[in-house]
Amino acid sequence: MRNGSASASALVFDEDDGEELTETLVDASGTTHEVVYRFHGPREYVAHPLDDTHQSLVVSAPVKIDGKAVDASTAPIVLANAVGAYMPSTVETAVGVGQNQLQLPGIGPAPGRRGDTGPVNGLVNLAKLALVAGYVVVEPGARGRSLVDASGNRYGTAPAAIVDLKAAVRYIRFNADRIPGNTEWIVSTGTSAGGALSALLGASGDSSLYDDHLDKIGAADASDAIFATAAWCPITDLEHADAAYEWNWGDNVTQPGGTPVDPTVSADLKSQFTEYQAGLQLDGLDGFGPLTADNYAQYLLETYLQPSATKHLKALSDADRAVYLAKNTFISWDDGRATFAWDDYLSHVGARKKPAPAFDAFDASTPENDEFGTATTGARHFTAYSATRSTAASPATSIDGDIPTLLRLMNPMHFISEKNPHRSRHWWIRLGANDTDTSLTVSANLAAAVHNIGDDVDHAYYWDQGHATNIDPNDFIAWIGEITGS
């Protein structure tokens, strides 16, 4: 039993506490609808919250769309996290569905926040699109790395955010008879750090590794497995991301700020990727065979990048396509198919966004270094390579003893490689082809890993799109319908 009956009663979802709201919403294909929905404002999803601002969720359930009654009791439940940059996320300001636009220090506008169904910094409010499609929407807040309590202790660093999202899922399942929707059809969504957490939530369903953390906050005694996982540009597999980054973007030697990348560092990391990729023993999609550092560029071209450019070009008028091709002469267009070389693709993308190492910086200055801090320490190293080269204020010479456990709790790849029987079996993964926030191999490996163990995966790259973009939300909404048959 994870919580006694006293605390369990604190977790009962009060169905009467809610209001009916009416909004005019635009669906994923651009059509306007009048949506009447029941909105249940912020409530805590754990019995012993450390922070009720962040450990709360809101629920929106459609009642009527264009005057027609909707039976939400059997609808899929879209769990739309709003995490960006591993920072805290909150429902405090939620009005109906969605949240206010946040600015993330060092990163810019947070993805996926708030507002209308129209693009928000190129990104779409999936919560509203799901609601107008007739799905139940749950928007959880979660602790994040910047939180500090009254005694100066940090309480939102790893693994707090994933523990909170799991607790939110447990709360939904614990209240299966009270929260509208089908708890067997929970579909998680998130972008960037939120995409990483979405993937982790899907991969790690019901893992006992989180039990102590969940007990501590009084999470409900229920399953935290989810049906399907959607992740846009997941910033994940962090302990291997520096190596993957140099493999992908390392030929571009100019770092942000204009200084050149240290060639030795870039080459060291790139060679780590060769070993890592071989160790994964993954086969590519579409019968590609074993994925290696040597054939990965060809794999990305064939499987993702050329099809993505083809789709983009096909959608243009003949005149616009001619203009595009005249500007981008590296692309050959034959028989309605785009082909090009890897090096030309890299030049087309241009400058890398991050220095080397991209994630575990020698001065421990990245969001990820901060995410691996403790209650009483600031940012920490999480790779041996950077720890031994640290230039941080109080340099470590090796990673701290608890780091391997934290990495285990934060990386979906481990749960997938051990074929966690309670993982999601349906995966939607998207990435902008110009997104240099992490390596393209990160999401391609995630897709290959779940595909190799028999899961259903729909992974595509958005041609000419950058970080945190979502240009096919209508396809995503339709995909939820397909996988649930609803």
**72 versus 193: smaller Cβ distance to ligand DHB:** 193
**4 versus 106: smaller Cβ distance to ligand DHB:** 106
Check if the beta carbon of residue 437 is closer than 8 Å to that of residue 233. Answer: yes
Minimum distance between the CB of residue 452 and ligand DHB, rounded to whole angstroms? 26
Of the residues 36, 107, 267, 278, which one makes contact with ligand DHB according to CB under 6 A: 107
How does DSSP classify residue 224?
A: -
**206 versus 437: smaller Cβ distance to ligand DHB:** 437
**44 versus 368: smaller Cβ distance to ligand DHB:** 368
Q: What is the CA radius of gyration of the chain?
A: 22
Helix, strand or coil for residue 427? Answer: strand
Measured from each CB, the residue nearest to ligand DHB is 192
Minimum distance between the CB of residue 368 and ligand DHB, rounded to whole angstroms? 6
Minimum distance between the CB of residue 399 and ligand DHB, rounded to whole angstroms? 19
Check if the beta carbon of residue 204 is closer than 8 Å to that of residue 196. Answer: no
Q: Which of 421, 449, 447 is nearest to 206 (CA)?
A: 421
Residues 192-211 that bind ligand DHB (CB under 6 A): 192-193
Minimum distance between the CB of residue 352 and ligand DHB, rounded to whole angstroms? 12
Pairing of strands 332-334, 289-290: unpaired
Number of residues counted as binding ligand DHB (CB under 6 A): 11
Token representation of residue 146: 């910047």
The number of C-alpha atoms within 13 Å of 463 and in the hemisphere containing its C-beta is: 21
Minimum distance between the CB of residue 468 and ligand DHB, rounded to whole angstroms? 6
Pairing of strands 136-140, 186-191: unpaired
**109 versus 115: smaller Cβ distance to ligand DHB:** 109
**62 versus 84: smaller Cβ distance to ligand DHB:** 84
- Scan for tokens 């990163």, then name that residue: 107
Residues 360-389 that bind ligand DHB (CB under 6 A): 367-368
Check if the beta carbon of residue 338 is closer than 8 Å to that of residue 331. Answer: yes
**162 versus 468: smaller Cβ distance to ligand DHB:** 468
Of the residues 88, 111, 202, 284, which one makes contact with ligand DHB according to CB under 6 A: 111
Token representation of residue 83: 């995490």
| Strand intervals (E) in 206-246 | 228-232
Of the residues 28, 85, 228, 403, which one makes contact with ligand DHB according to CB under 6 A: 85
Minimum distance between the CB of residue 446 and ligand DHB, rounded to whole angstroms? 16
Of the residues 49, 84, 134, 205, which one makes contact with ligand DHB according to CB under 6 A: 84
**76 versus 111: smaller Cβ distance to ligand DHB:** 111
**235 versus 457: smaller Cβ distance to ligand DHB:** 235
Helix, strand or coil for residue 434? Answer: coil
Helix, strand or coil for residue 26? Answer: strand
**170 versus 354: smaller Cβ distance to ligand DHB:** 354
Q: Which of 471, 430, 450 is nearest to 231 (CA)?
A: 430
Of the residues 437, 448, 461, 470, which one makes contact with ligand DHB according to CB under 6 A: 437
Residues 301-320 that bind ligand DHB (CB under 6 A): none
Give the Cα separation of 338 and 335 in Å (integer).
9
**89 versus 183: smaller Cβ distance to ligand DHB:** 89
**27 versus 437: smaller Cβ distance to ligand DHB:** 437
Helix (H) or strand (E) holding 477: helix 473-484
Minimum distance between the CB of residue 250 and ligand DHB, rounded to whole angstroms? 17
Q: How many CB atoms lie within 10 A of CB 432?
A: 24
Minimum distance between the CB of residue 356 and ligand DHB, rounded to whole angstroms? 14
Counting contacts by CB under 6 A, is residue 144 touching ligand DHB? Answer: no
Counting contacts by CB under 6 A, is residue 237 touching ligand DHB? Answer: no
Residues 211-230 that bind ligand DHB (CB under 6 A): none
Minimum distance between the CB of residue 299 and ligand DHB, rounded to whole angstroms? 23
Minimum distance between the CB of residue 147 and ligand DHB, rounded to whole angstroms? 16
Counting contacts by CB under 6 A, is residue 235 touching ligand DHB? Answer: yes
Check if the beta carbon of residue 48 is closer than 8 Å to that of residue 105. Answer: no
Minimum distance between the CB of residue 397 and ligand DHB, rounded to whole angstroms? 25
Name every residue whose Cβ is closer than 8 Å to that of residue 62 and which is 6 or more positions away in sequence: 35, 36, 37, 70, 72, 75, 131, 132, 134, 135, 136
DSSP notation for 302-338: IIIIHHHHHHHHHTS-HHHHHHHHHH-TT-EEETTEE
DSSP notation for 36-99: EEEEEEEEESSSS-S-TTTSEEEEEEEEEETTEE--GGGS-EEEE----TT--B--TT-SSS--
User: In DSSP terms, which residues pair with 431 in a beta bridge?
Assistant: 461
**204 versus 436: smaller Cβ distance to ligand DHB:** 436
Q: How far is CA 295 from the centre of its chain?
A: 26
Which chain residues interact with ligand DHB by CB under 6 A?
84-85, 107, 111, 192-193, 235, 367-368, 437, 468
